[in-house]
Structure 1
């Protein structure tokens, strides 16, 4: 009698996929490697995920599982936006290529909707209409994704020769790009916490001005 393939839980599949992501990165994560790690045949994965993209969607959902779960009711809107943005950044940093996994998935799950709802509600609390609140929420999310992508691209797994690129930049900027030369320390700063906080402050201040301008 033929032996049945072992039943595998969806949560275990995603957890194993995230572990493989940390080891191989998003390009190196394959359905074949995942099946081997789970000690099952590749077709068994398709009970849960019909393609690698659907697996990525499940991983993206799992990445933000802890975001926007504990928000004080009387929290000022600026603090709420900051809290959600901070939690989103930390969540994406938990796994190699986390920002690349999440970007462009457009997953419609409770975890993702909860995160969006938290920011949209904060901007509407500030006086934005629904359209501006949604646009502002997207803008903050795009900012977090972009910064984390750069942060992770320069992480331990990076193959970039940053020192050589910095020297090339300095040689060119010194002669031809005076403003970039003046900003060279900021351009090559690896203090991503400071970059993140400053950029988020600028976004919130700009959105606040837009809300005031729309509702004088």
Structure 2
């Protein structure tokens, strides 16, 4: 130990009023920079909480704790934001290579995936119905769906309409599910918002009503009363999809090459 070190006074212990103080900060933590990804995530949060009618640029900005003008450095308008949200649905999804022996199964898988993705967010079906998938990001999906139909042997006129038909069916079905979900939520309070609409009670009432109709005036309604209204959205979706697929299959050429 040197003489200089010996002459240095020892560091005093912390005073009692210093011991409970937090460590001195070296500056406030940097705020995460604003980006399109953060804006889209915030928009989904607002959408799930307030629905499409309550989604606004002002609400998204409030969710992020920024000014509305800050959003416009990354998105040009609310329509631009909705398009980004729609495009986000397809993140991580890859269309399979077309297989003419499995084309119906592939379309079923695509339809089930589409319904699941739309059901992940409130009112997403409404956003989907308002946007066509002909953007640069989504054109490969459109191309792959057309390849699926044309490789199976469907005539070009039918293949050109089939993709839109499937998409419209998915959107419309999920839109109806969302409307029933909102109706159940309104009737049961803010906390009653099931992922799938619970219509079992209404289904039973409608079945009983149909069965009570005069047989001479409504023979067919009475005959299918137990089948017209079911409490399983999954079953209804699958049956409707099967009707569409069988209709498309009827356009395939037979062994003689006739349609």
C-alpha RMSD over aligned residues: 3.0
Q: Is residue 44–residue 121 contact of structure 2 (8 Å, CA) maintained in 1?
A: yes
Q: 1:114 aligned to 140, 146, 153, which one?
A: 140
The match for 1:174 is 213
Q: Is residue 88–residue 144 contact of structure 1 (8 Å, CA) maintained in 2?
A: yes
TM-score by length of structure 2 reads 0.70
TM-score by length of structure 1 reads 0.82
Residue 159, structure 1, aligned to residue 198, structure 2: no
Q: Which runs of 5+ in 1 are unaligned?
A: 1-5
Q: Is residue 64–residue 111 contact of structure 1 (8 Å, CA) maintained in 2?
A: no
CA distance in 2 between partners of 1:44 and 1:81 (Å) = 42
Q: Is residue 14–residue 58 contact of structure 1 (8 Å, CA) maintained in 2?
A: yes
Q: 1:148 to 1:188 in 2, by over 3 A?
A: same
What do residues 107-163 of structure 1 show as CA deviations (whole Å, max 9, x unaligned)?
A: 433553233223211110111233321201111111111111112222266436966
> How many residues in Structure 1 have an aligned counterpart in Structure 2?
211
Q: 2:238 aligned to 168, 179, 197, which one?
A: 197
Q: Which runs of 5+ in 2 are unaligned?
A: 1-31, 189-198
CA distance in 1 between partners of 2:80 and 2:223 (Å) = 46
Instruction: Decide which structure has the larger Cα Rg and report it.
Output: 2
Q: 1:104 to 1:181 in 2, by over 3 A?
A: farther
Q: Is residue 203–residue 230 contact of structure 2 (8 Å, CA) maintained in 1?
A: no
The match for 1:206 is 247
User: Relative contact order, CA 8 A, sep 6+: which one is greater?
Assistant: 1
Q: Which has the higher helix share?
A: 1
Report the alpha carbon displacement of residue 164 of structure 1 after superposing the two structures with TM.
7.1
Q: 2:224 aligned to 175, 179, 183, which one?
A: 183
